[in-house]
Amino acid sequence: MPCTEASLRHLCPRIHQVQELLGRPLVLENVSSYVRFAADEMSEADFVAELLRRSGCQLLLDVNNVYVSSRNHGFDARGYIDRMPAEQVVQIHLAGHEDRGEVVIDTHDHPICEAVWQLYAYTLERIGFRPTMIERDDNIPPLPELLAELDQARQRAMTPA
C-alpha cells in the first residue's frame, strides 16, 4: 500500500470499525519492504506514525523489519524508531535476515546480527522496556544457541545502549 494521505483515509475508518467491534485497539506490525511506490507522499515511518495517531491502534515494532527496510531503501533506522510514538508500542520483535548485498531479505532463519542488536538497544533506550519476541522460522539451531540468543536479548533489555 502506498504511503499516501489517500491510504490513511482508506485505512483509518476501517481500523476504527474493527476496534469498535472488538472493544480494544488493534495491534499492527511494521513490515519489511523491498520496493517503494512511485505514489508515496511520505516516508514509511511518517505513514506508520500518522496511522497510529489517527486510528489509536497500537504497534508491534519489528526492529529487524526496520533494519531490513532501512538497508533496502537507504533511510536512517534510528530516525524511523524516533518517529514511533512510544506510548503506542506494545511489543518488539527481533529476527535474523539474509543479507544479499544489494537487498536484505527478512527470512527469520539466521541469528540476529549485531546491527539489529544495536538498533534494539537504541529502541529500548528511546521507548523503554517492552515485551520482546525472537522470531525464528527456519534453520532452527540447537536449543543452547537459541537460549544464548534469548540471554543476549535479556542482557540488552537490562542495559540498553
Amino acid at 95: A
Cα distance between residue 90 and residue 97, in whole Å = 23
- pLDDT tens for residues 90-99? 999 999 999 9
**pLDDT over 80 at 36, yes or no:** yes
At residue 43, the 3 state secondary structure works out as: coil
Cα distance between residue 155 and residue 96, in whole Å = 18
DSSP 87: G
pTM for this predicted structure: 0.93
Give the residues across from 88 on adjacent strands.
none
Q: HSE on the CB side for 91, CA within 13 Å? A: 13
**pLDDT over 90 at 161, yes or no:** no
Domain boundaries, the chain: 5-158
Cα distance between residue 61 and residue 89, in whole Å = 6
- pLDDT tens for residues 73-112? 999 999 999 999 999 999 999 999 999 989 999 999 899 9
Cα distance between residue 61 and residue 106, in whole Å = 14
Geometric angle at alpha carbon 2, from 109 and 18, rounded to 5°: 80
User: Looking at domain 5-158, which CATH architecture does it have?
Assistant: Alpha-Beta Barrel (3.20)
> Burial letters for 55-71: b for 16+ Cβ neighbours within 10 Å, e otherwise?
bebbbbbbbbbbbbbbb
Q: Phi and psi dihedrals of 86, rounded to 5? A: -55, -40
